[in-house]
Structure 1
Amino acid sequence: MELCTQLSYQGSLRPSKGVFFYEEADGTMKPLPIDQDAIVGQKCSYSEAYQPSGSPKNLQPQDLAFGNPVRRESCYVPPTVDKIVCRFSLRVEANSLSPFVCNSQSVVEVLRGLAAAYQRAGGYEVLARRYCKNLLLGQWLWRNQRNMGLSITVATSVGNEYRIDNVLHLDWHEPGRMTPKKY
């Protein structure tokens, strides 16, 4: 078999943008406000003034005085808020079954056979469990997962809803079990 010169796959996970809401006392959901500001950061890289060889660049002093403008976005939760909700959608597509682009039919057939063997061996089920575990662990929340009572609800396209309360207090690494951690 001769190797192809063009090969690409499309990603199988298609997340939408996430939107954060907070709940007011009357149950109304409002989007968290985004704060935008600009700062002048410092130019503090060695390479601003020196060549890779270590010799100084031919610069005027004012050349090093220019700032580094940075635009920042941040979001702060109002202090009276007890509940934050993040909503997004996630489409899962079977794009690994066959290449999106390939200029060799023999390579396409080999890759389809590999995907079929992976499916027969239960690989896609293991992969699906890993995807679900990472969703339910809240890894996508980054630093926002640092709180006391994290609950994650997953609503499926067929109307099923799954809610996991106190996500951070579960032992997710025990094979086949999700049990409360002992402190």
Structure 2
Amino acid sequence: MNANQISMFDQSEVFKNLPGVLSFQRGIPISDGLFFNELDDGSESPVMVVRHGIRGTQNVAKGTKKQAKKGRSSSDSNSSESESLESDTVDRGVSNIQTTDTAKMDPQASALKVRFSMSPLDLDVLLFAVAAQKDEKDLTFVKRYRESVKRFIVAAKASSGLDDVANRIARNVLTGRWLWRNRTVAQSIEIKVSHENGELISMCNALSLSLKYFDDITETERKLGALIAENFRGNARDTFAVEARVDLGIKGAVEVFPSQNYVEKKPDGFARSLYCVGHPRRFRSDSMMELEATREMGQAALRDQKISNALRTIDTWYPAYNEHQRPIPVEPFGANLDAQAFFRDKKTSAFEYARRFNELDPNSPEGKFMIANLIRGGVLSSGEKE
């Protein structure tokens, strides 16, 4: 769609309210990132998540010293501090028996490989739903708002702001930011990005690139960024295959880190559930006489949402960037789990900018932030009226 196909409503209109329903689909469909062993002979095998029992130690502070002192005189408490602590460990038990999941490489592995695929969409298809609030009396509101979004998308597709957003995503692919904890323990990481047919697009040393800045984009990153931008513009529809070869500097059965699962109301003694694909291995026997110490749960993997979060960690446009000095994931209010903080307020949120699509310059920091929010996808609806 081009600008000539959009009705000529007031192109400077700032909307007092957002629609009752406003949602965008994700602009980059992404697969899970599967873990593989690279074996000494060059072959590969899946890295498996294994469920097993461990005997650890108690390391949870429970305020027991204070409880032990309760009801004693000050002289008693001063003379019996060591007795209180000793009594408490006896009551609690020093041992911590748990069932947990672990992902470890094969004893014959020389490196870890992680692979995922991504396929950026045309920005034109991202607007999923727009509907008025129930008491909305202006029957043209939805049409005016929808066309304000479409005008912004037309401008974004013609802008250098979209190239900047695409280059930042390319950097996060090639830095291996999406490897999360596996990146921090690696000695070296080689990233390859290929077309679906196997044709190589980009290859680089991931640890040579910065995770903090986007003002030093390399030619390798620009090449991938240009292809991503062409997909966002609707001029191509590519699927990119991404592979990381992670050298941990240690050979053998080394622990690696897939996504973790959230388990509500975990059973007593259950410590951690890891994300995996496939099906758990069946027990070999129903007999209680046969003890199985471990059970394979499936192939270790990073969730697509976790990879997506890393790829959209490109927001350096938020007001406190000069103080925080690191990019945060694109979120409507700048929500950041690492810092446990919101880095955007109402005036700098995606909700505010979404009322002003008609005013936004896609080459401005606010405009780039909103391009990235469209690609992120999600709901920006407002149920309130001012």
Q: Given residue 41 of structure 2, which amino acid in structure 1 is its aligned partner?
A: D
Task: Kindly state the Cα deviation for residue 138 of structure 1 after the two structures are TM-superposed.
Answer: 0.3
Unaligned runs of 5+ in 2: 1-14, 64-91, 132-141, 221-386
Structural RMSD (CA): 3.2
Q: Give the 3 Å change call, closer, same or farther, for CA 26–177 of structure 1 in structure 2.
A: closer
Matched-pair contact (CA < 8 Å) for 1:98–1:108:
no
Q: Given residue 24 of structure 2, which amino acid in structure 1 is its aligned partner?
A: Y
Q: Given residue 150 of structure 2, which amino acid in structure 1 is its aligned partner?
A: R
Distance 1:75 1:94 in 2: 37
Measured against aligned partners, the alpha-carbon deviations of 1:33-64 in whole angstroms (never above 9, x if no partner) come to 21224679888689xxxxxxxxxxxxxxxxxx
Measured against aligned partners, the alpha-carbon deviations of 1:60-96 in whole angstroms (never above 9, x if no partner) come to xxxxx9xxx9864321123442222111111211246
Q: TM-score, normalised by structure 1?
A: 0.70
Among 149, 169, 176, the alignment partner of 2:208 is: 169
Task: Kindly state the Cα deviation for residue 126 of structure 1 after the two structures are TM-superposed.
Answer: 1.3
Matched-pair contact (CA < 8 Å) for 1:34–1:75:
yes
Distance 1:156 1:15 in 2: 14
Higher gyration radius (CA): 2
Q: 2:127 is paired with a residue of what secondary structure?
A: coil
1:87 partnered with 2:120: no
Q: What's the counterpart of residue 161 of structure 2?
A: 123
Q: What's the counterpart of residue 28 of structure 1?
A: 43
Q: Given residue 167 of structure 1, which amino acid in structure 2 is its aligned partner?
A: A
Q: Give the 3 Å change call, closer, same or farther, for CA 9–171 of structure 1 in structure 2.
A: closer
Q: What's the counterpart of residue 157 of structure 1?
A: 196
Q: Given residue 175 of structure 1, which amino acid in structure 2 is its aligned partner?
A: D
Distance 1:105 1:151 in 2: 48
Q: 2:156 is paired with a residue of what secondary structure?
A: helix
Matched-pair contact (CA < 8 Å) for 1:12–1:96:
no
Q: Given residue 218 of structure 2, which amino acid in structure 1 is its aligned partner?
A: R
Aligned-pair identity in percent equals 24
Q: Give the 3 Å change call, closer, same or farther, for CA 45–136 of structure 1 in structure 2.
A: farther
Higher relative contact order structure (alpha carbons within 8 Å, sequence separation ≥ 6): 2
Q: Give the 3 Å change call, closer, same or farther, for CA 129–29 of structure 1 in structure 2.
A: same
Among 101, 104, 120, the alignment partner of 1:73 is: 101
Q: Give the 3 Å change call, closer, same or farther, for CA 122–97 of structure 1 in structure 2.
A: farther
Number of residues paired by the alignment? 159
Unaligned runs of 5+ in 1: 47-64
Among 127, 134, 144, the alignment partner of 1:99 is: 127
